[in-house]
Amino acid sequence: MVLHSDLIHASNEMNLNKLRQIFSDNESLVIRSLMNKNGSLLASFVYLNILVDEKYLNQHLVRKLNEDLYIKTGPANELALNTLNSLGTVIELKHIEAVVSLITDAGIAVMVEGSCVAYGILMPGYETRAIEEPKIEINVRGPKESFTEDLQQNLSMVHRKLKTPDLKSISYVIGQQSQTKVMLLYLENRIDPTLLAEIRNKIESIQLDVLIVNAQIEELIQDNIFTPFPQIFSTERPDRIATALGRGKAAIITDGTPIALIAPTSFFEMLHPSEDLYERFYFANFLRVLRLICLFISLFGPALYISLTTFHLEMIPTPLMMAFISSKAGIPFPTFIEAILMETAFEILREASLRLPRAVGQSVSIVGALIIGEAAVQSGIVSRPMVIVVAMTGIASFAIPSFSTAIALRMLRFPFILIAASYGVFGLSLSMFILIMHLCSLQTFGVPFLEPVSFNSIRDTLMKYILLPVKYRENVMQVKAGRADAPQRKKGGFLHRNDEDEYR
């Protein structure tokens, strides 16, 4: 449907006919008119009853407007404007398109007979979800509120944490059909202006028909779409957003999505939950090291086990080697097939537990895991060490705070298993090399993806990665224009590549 930017006519009848045409076959459109003593039309107001708070509308707006227009003397549009001003923020509308936009956004448009200007006021009456505890990023000590689907509520949560006029929010409307509101938040005194300009350009260049979730924005603004690793961090926690804004990053909040995006981000940020900032720095650093170990186990655990037991048994200490060999006795499949079977079963179980109703999900998944593990071992299909390895790998992947990163690691495990089964430790070394090279080549908005590893100063690297006590923390964590360090790349596909200067 194409909206014409027709001006509002002085005759209400003509305006209303246009609106009826635009909203044809839409039963929720309500048009109410106020008449004077003579029976001539004074004013009309138009709204969608499924979006607007009709009770408030009837009790306050209709009654007051009726009283003011009927009883008081003066120009009708001025009286209407005064009435509406007493109830909320009034928007002046000069085009039919603006009226339609307001109506679809839970607003009420008031058109006064004889006036070429309509007045709008937002009066949302739909139900929104209450602020709840975060479900994915759970903390012990930190705040226990998470974003909801309502944009205003989310914005207010962030504003309550950053009570400064430097907190800026730029509004965008994305989606021809969905007209979804998107807000870009940043701290003016912290963010790098070139970074901000780049983010703004990317958001402004988004062309979408329907924007439902901000995952669509994420995919459209990230630099490399073919990498398995997410390059923009998503969080459901307002405190995480506030911390990121304080570090000179920008946040994107979308109406209808309870997840906000943080850009730019780095690989190590995906491994650090907000809990790190709320605990003593000793434990936080210990947990950071532990998470790195979990990352390694999650990615290379089964592959390392396969390569050692298939090709390099002599590298395993003798008692352990004897235990592996004895447990493998009678198992009909090679280690690689065992690993593939168990990993696939684990992935299926994990996916199924997401879809099961909450009441039965947890118990079914636990029983399923026990049955699969125990039954598979007792029937001689897989060996016990393999069940342990797969279980450890699964638990290690749950220790990765970022869900998107954990999925990427789960996905990458399978090719590594194949490579380890074919080429052993050699293949694994090459895979590690390729992975490191790939991660080093990624960047988000000009900031290298492995950004905390500062390539100019080892001291900076250590100071950024190792969490310091709070009083030393502030200045080091700033996202600097380490952008000069990063090569400029054209946005493109998997093999997007350099300019002419690279091989000079």
Partner 1 sequence: MAAQNKITHGQLSCLVFSYLSGFSTLFLSEAALLKQDVWMSYLIGMTLAIGMLWLLCYVQWKHPLLTMVEISDKLFGHWVSRLVLMIYLIYMLEMQAAACRALSTFYTTVVIPNMPSNQMILLIILCTTYATYLGLTTIVRAVQITLPFFLVGILIICFFLLRDVETNPFLPQFQHSFSEVMYGSLLSLYFPFGKLVVFGFLLARVKNMKKIFSSSIFGLILAALYLLVSAYLTLGTIGIHLAGTATFPFFSSIQMVKFGEYLERIEITIIGIWTIFTLFEIVVLQYVFTILLRHVFRIKNMKPFILPIGLLFFISAQKSFLRLSDLTFYNLNIAPFSTMLPIAIIPIMLSIMTLLRKEKT
Asked if 325 touches partner 1 (CB under 8 A), the answer is no
Query: How many residues sit in the footprint of partner 1 (CB under 8 A)?
Result: 42
DSSP letter for 137, please: S
Best CA proximity match to 353, nearest among 385, 398, 387: 398
Residues 119-138 that bind partner 1 (CB under 8 A): none
**Interacting span for partner 1 (CB under 8 A) from 103-111, 237-245, 363-371, 486-494:** 486-494
How far apart are CB 469 and partner 1 at their closest, in Å?
Answer: 24
**Would you state the structure tokens that stand for residue 46, as one six-digit string?**
């138009």
Out of 453, 466, 477, 481, the only residue in the binding site for partner 1 (CB under 8 A) is: 453
Cβ partners under 8 Å of residue 257, min gap 6: 147, 149, 212, 213, 214
Considering beta carbons, is residue 48 or 303 the nearer one to partner 1?
303
In the complex with partner 1, which residue's Cβ is closer, 104 or 456?
456
In the complex, the smallest distance separating the C-beta of residue 110 from partner 1, rounded to whole angstroms, is 56
Q: Smallest distance from the beta carbon of 321 to partner 1, in angstroms?
A: 10
Cβ distance to partner 1 smaller for residue 247 or 496: 496
Sole window of 82-90, 256-264, 366-374, 437-445 interacting with partner 1 (rule: CB under 8 A): 437-445
Based on the number of CB atoms within 10 Å of its own CB, is 37 exposed (0-12), middle (13-18) or buried (19 or more)? Answer: exposed
Q: How far is the CB of 423 from partner 1 (least distance, A)?
A: 7
Nearest Cα to Cα of residue 486 among 436, 451, 438, 439: 451
Tokens read off for 190: 């912290």
Please tell me the distance from the alpha carbon of residue 426 to that of residue 253, in angstroms, as a whole number.
45
* x-marked contacts with partner 1 along 387-426 as a string, rule CB under 8 A: ------------------------------------xxxx
Which of 363, 390, 364 has the alpha carbon at shortest distance from 376?
A: 390
Residue 452 makes contact with partner 1 by CB under 8 A: no
**Under 8 Å CB-to-CB from 94, ≥6 apart: which residues?**
7, 8, 116, 117, 118
Nearer to partner 1, 380 or 487 (CB): 487
The tokens of 115 are what?
Answer: 């006036």
| Contact present, 317 and 372 (Cβ < 8 Å) | no
Q: How far is the CB of 329 from partner 1 (least distance, A)?
A: 23
Cα 407 to chain center, whole Å?
15
Give the H/E segment covering residue 431. Answer: helix 403-441
> Looking only at Cα atoms, what is the longest distance across the chain?
104
Site string for partner 1, 280-319 (x = CB under 8 A): -------------------------------xx-xxxx-x
Q: Which of 323, 341, 432, 468 binds partner 1 (CB under 8 A)?
A: 432
Question: 411 with 347: CB under 8 angstroms?
Answer: no
Binding site for partner 1 (CB under 8 A): 311-312, 314-317, 319, 423-427, 429-430, 432-434, 436-437, 440-441, 448, 450, 453, 455-458, 484-488, 495, 497-504
